[in-house]
Amino acid sequence: MKRAIQSRVRTGVEYRAFQERYWDLPDAFVLECLRWPDDRSPAPYQLEFLRTLATRGRFSGRGPHGLGKTSVAAWAILWFALTRDGQDWKIPTTAGAWRQVRYFLWPEVHKWARMVDWRRVGRPPFTAHELLSLGLNLRSGEAFAAVSDNPALIEGAHADHILYVFDESKSIPAETFDAAEGAFSGGDTKAYALALSTPGEPLGRFYDIQARKPGFLDWSVRHVPLDEAVRSGRISLPWAEARKLQWGEKSAIYQRRVEGNFAADDVEGVIPLSFVEAAVERWHRMFDGPSEPELGPMEALGVDIGLTGAQTVMAPRHGLVVPRLWYLPPADPTVATMVTAGKVKAKLDGNRQAWAYVDVNGIGAGVVHRLAEQKARVVPFSAGARTDRTDKSGELGFANTRAAAWWHMRELLEDQAVVLPDDELLVGDLTTPKYREMSNARLLIESKKDLADPKRLGRSTDSGDAVIQAFYDYGVDEDEVSPEVMRMVAW
């Protein structure tokens, strides 16, 4: 039976007619060969991406998060593989992060393979031996996943027809792009390249392509702005407006993820967005596997107490890893102190070596007092307290404990070892505050009150402060920190 099916595929008139019809028409393939629900259709810019790829050979597109870029990549893979089946072909696929290939791109290929109108294609659906978890093997070619930091996997792909797919390509090394150039140098190979991404900092190969710098003018480029994505139904305007309030319209994270613009890290920002994104990427590499990683004991618990009607945030730290944030809903004001203290105490009881660093301002003072009465290991974190700490160079001091804690977090993130959860509130909190250097060589960090102004962030940085407090004493010499901690505890 299997041999009969393969024979029909090899000699099927319908399949050959399909290939001739859609050889250069990936946009028509998407419209006519995928089964679309009545209330859905591809966005015009998605079809434009594919049409330009087929006519120009190299296409690079950027836009906001949620644009549908990975769907375009999946459609291109299916179109190319099915129309070139019977020829010598290959499709290397890669991305700036392996999880993008494993958890997004190839699952998207599987999803759309189930939507193919196979009668129109003229062959049976893919078998389990053809469509693999991270690849597609047909009779004369294959599509496969490759890590972006190993250019040899890209350079080693040779075929008469080849399509390179660079998904979320803002962080793909230039060497990986360069490894594909051999296929474009002439000869018998017909090569295509598709590079799609939300933008990052204005640097790297994806940026050079999008900026149409000299040497990259053979790429066709396209930026899809937010309003076009909203009109196409791919992005919700309320979502975009909420992110504007959450992150601030001028922030790098808003410009990159919502407007689809390249944006440099804010030079006045305490913690650059690129530092936080790298920490979140490490979290994905650690936690996206089939099982939970082994973590050491919890060493610290940062606790930012929400004001009346606001949530409280707890950040558990295991070494350099914050695996998650715990958000406590607002408690009844009459019992908020006791309830919150009880929640913190329960976490400490299960981790007897950990210290809780609790924001002592406002109702946090009552929480600290209650925990102290219970002999809990608690450090009252007073943001406005004086400190003798300096930065790691020993040259800059800090106006208060808040400034010292935030700058210490920046230095830890700069060392590229901290692991932070993928939490939008946390990312916004950590990347929003600004700093300035005072005349006495001390750094001052923007206050929570100023950040809560509607002209700035418009809310308190509760998630960020909980994480900052959890890391306050990490890596600091014990002889240096002990007197300060004891002064705080004595409070």
Mean pLDDT of 172-178: 94
CA Rg, the chain, in Å? 27
Rounded distance between C-alpha atoms, residue 368 and residue 103, angstroms: 43
Instruction: Indicate where the chain has its CATH 3.30.420.240 domain(s).
Output: 273-490
Token reading at 401: 């404990």
pLDDT at position 265 is: 81
What average pLDDT score do residues 418-434 get? Answer: 91
**Topology of the domain comprising 2-231:** Rossmann fold (3.40.50)
Rounded to an integer, what distance in angstroms lies between the CA atom of residue 254 and that of residue 341? 35
Confidence at residue 439, expressed as pLDDT on a 0 to 100 scale: 72
Least confident of 31-35, 67-71, 260-264, 309-313: 309-313
pLDDT at 280 over 90: yes
- Give the integer Cα–Cα distance in Å for 186 and 381: 65
Compute the distance between CA of residue 490 and CA of residue 54 in angstroms, rounded to an integer: 71
Q: What is the pLDDT of residues 93-127, one digit of tens each?
A: 999 888 899 999 999 999 999 999 999 999 999 99
CATH classification (class only), 273-490: alpha beta
Distances (CA, A) of 282 to 47, 98, 145, 158, 422: 34, 11, 20, 33, 10
39-59 per-residue burial string, b: 16 or more CB within 10 A, e: under 16: eeebbebbbbbbbbbbeebbb
Question: Residue 184 carries which DSSP code?
Answer: G
Q: What is the pTM (predicted TM-score) of this model?
A: 0.79
Contact 434, 266 (CB under 8 A): yes
At position 424, the amino acid (one-letter code) is: E
| Average pLDDT value for residue range 75-104 | 95
Taking the CB of residue 196, how many other CB atoms lie within 10 A of it?
A: 27
Q: Confidence band (pLDDT; 50, 70, 90) for 436?
A: confident
pLDDT of residue 392 exceeding 80, the answer is: yes
**Residue 446 pLDDT level (bands cut at 50, 70, 90):** confident
pLDDT at res. 477:
56
Q: Looking at the chain, which residues constitute the CATH 3.40.50.300 domain(s)?
A: 2-231
Q: Higher model confidence: residue 8 or residue 177?
A: 177
Q: Decide if 34 contacts 117 (C-beta within 8 A).
A: yes
Write the DSSP symbol of residue 487.
H
- Residues with Cβ within 8 Å of 162's Cβ and at least 6 positions away in sequence, in order, are 89, 90, 91, 92, 183, 189, 190, 191, 192
223 vs 366, which has greater pLDDT? 223
Mean pLDDT taken over the chain: 88
pLDDT tens for 450-477 read 877 777 776 788 999 999 999 999 887 5
Above 80 in pLDDT, residue 290? no
Q: Check pLDDT > 70 for residue 308.
A: no
490-to-96, 149, 367, 371, 385 alpha-carbon distances in Å: 49, 51, 15, 13, 13
Q: Is the pLDDT of residue 432 over 60?
A: yes
- Main-chain dihedrals φ then ψ at residue 147, nearest 5 degrees: -75, 140
Identify the residue with better confidence: 75 or 396. 75
Is the Cβ–Cβ distance between 364 and 347 less than 8 Å? no
**Structure confidence at residue 253 (pLDDT):** 87
Top-confidence range, 118-127, 248-257, 392-401: 118-127
Residue type, 352: R
Neighbouring residues of 317: CB distance < 8 A, sequence distance ≥ 6:
298, 299, 300, 301, 302, 467, 470, 471, 474
Distance CA 392, CA 482 (A): 18
Q: How many CA atoms lie within 13 A of 45 on its CB side?
A: 23
Q: Is the model's pLDDT at 8 over the cut of 50? A: no
